Amino acid sequence: MNKLFTSTLGIAASISVLLSSCGNNKASAPAADPNLVKDYQVITIEPQIAEMHSDFPATIEGQQTVEIRPRVDGYIEHIYVDEGAVVARGQRLFKINGDLFEQQVRSAAANVKIAQANVNSAEMQVNKVRPLVEKDIISKYELQTAQYNLQSMQAALAQAKAQLSNAKTNLSYTYVTSPANGVIGGIPYKVGALVSSNIAQPLTTVANVSKMYAYFSMNEKQLLDFTRNTEGATLQAKLKKLPQVELVLSDGSLYNEKGRIETASGLINTQTGSSNFKATFSNSLGLLRSGSTGIVRIPTTINSALMVPQKSTYEIQGKRFVYVVEADSVKSVPIEVNPSAAGQSFVVKGGLKAGDKIVIEGIAGLREGAKIKPVEVKADSVFKSLEP
């Protein structure tokens, strides 16, 4: 028993020495140097061309939206189109019962025949009296009376013809046609409904969507910037100088055709503090619809812009900062940027100058006055990688 106990103690002592040796080796491993200077990529700020854009929420309307109302009273007898159908100018849309108007046409046509017969009779009377007057058989008074009667009959004929034309026009109104090329809107009335010219809702609407208008507004500050920074002596001249604009659809996709800003209001709405603009887009594929929404995107080119990548900036209490390299340390510098981003970059309006070096990577781990090892990279390659 003693011999076994002594052997066990020896093994335990050996394990203790071994663990102690391992612990001492671990404690003696070199610790990380807290003063180690890390590498940071930096770029030199230089003037370059910046492509920017400004976005404005817009409401899209068709070139022409016409309410279709009947000109005569009656029951809807037939509907020739469906909601959303594309129609051409002059195409039939509705048929209103025209029995009454057909009767009026027949009656007016009969009156024309009667009036024509009266004219013929009056002409015969004039032709009969004239030779008798020339031979002094009867007085000139008889001839004048016959001529006046003829004029009266001719006037009655003209009136009858006018009534016939009016009756035919009313009959033609029983066919309601499209006044323009476009797309049919809702159809609230069905076959058999009684309609008139003063109904509350129109029979339908026809929206001419070959061209679409995107209406948007600029606030007073944006309007001042536009006026100051755009060439041209007048507002219309400035609009002509603007480049083509883009339309961002409600799903975030870009419309495949560009448009132009054609008109702008010369007044500022006192209630909203904004001025209205209108951009025109072609709608050859019929993708745009009246009443939809989008964003008008106006591009702007700045020839000598100082730009910084968005990822190289950080924000504190509404102010934006970058880390500027001074010798082998960094300094936090506040900058003023254009509110409209140039892709994934900002255009600097103040706080930096050409030749300054800024840190572009890993700024979250930096602090004011931190030591770094600058690694210079080409600014062109950085901004090119940020392009969409």
The CATH number assigned to the domain holding 230 equals 2.40.30.170
Domain that holds residue 139: 98-173
Please say which residue of 267, 287, 302 terminates a domain.
302
In the chain, the N- to C-terminal Cα span, in Å, equals 83
Residue 21: per-residue pLDDT: 46
Residue 201: per-residue pLDDT: 93
81/149 same-domain check: no
Is 32 domain-assigned?
no
Residue 388: per-residue pLDDT: 58
Tell me the β-bridge partners of 41.
375
308/231 same-domain check: no
Is 16 domain-assigned?
no
77/185 same-domain check: yes
Residue of 381, 367, 285, 291 lying closest to 329 (CA atoms): 367
135/217 same-domain check: no
Residue 272: per-residue pLDDT: 81
* Rounded Cα gap, residues 75 and 98, in angstroms: 9
Residue 34: per-residue pLDDT: 55
Is 18 domain-assigned?
no
211/275 same-domain check: yes
What's the pTM value of the predicted model, to 2 decimals? Answer: 0.59
Is 250 domain-assigned?
yes
321/264 same-domain check: no
315/214 same-domain check: no
**10-residue stretch averages of pLDDT, the chain, 388 residues long:** 40 42 46 69 89 88 89 94 91 94 94 95 90 84 89 95 95 93 90 92 89 91 82 84 91 92 83 89 86 90 85 90 91 86 80 92 88 88 72
Range list of H helices, the chain: 2-27, 99-134, 140-172, 220-229, 235-241, 379-385
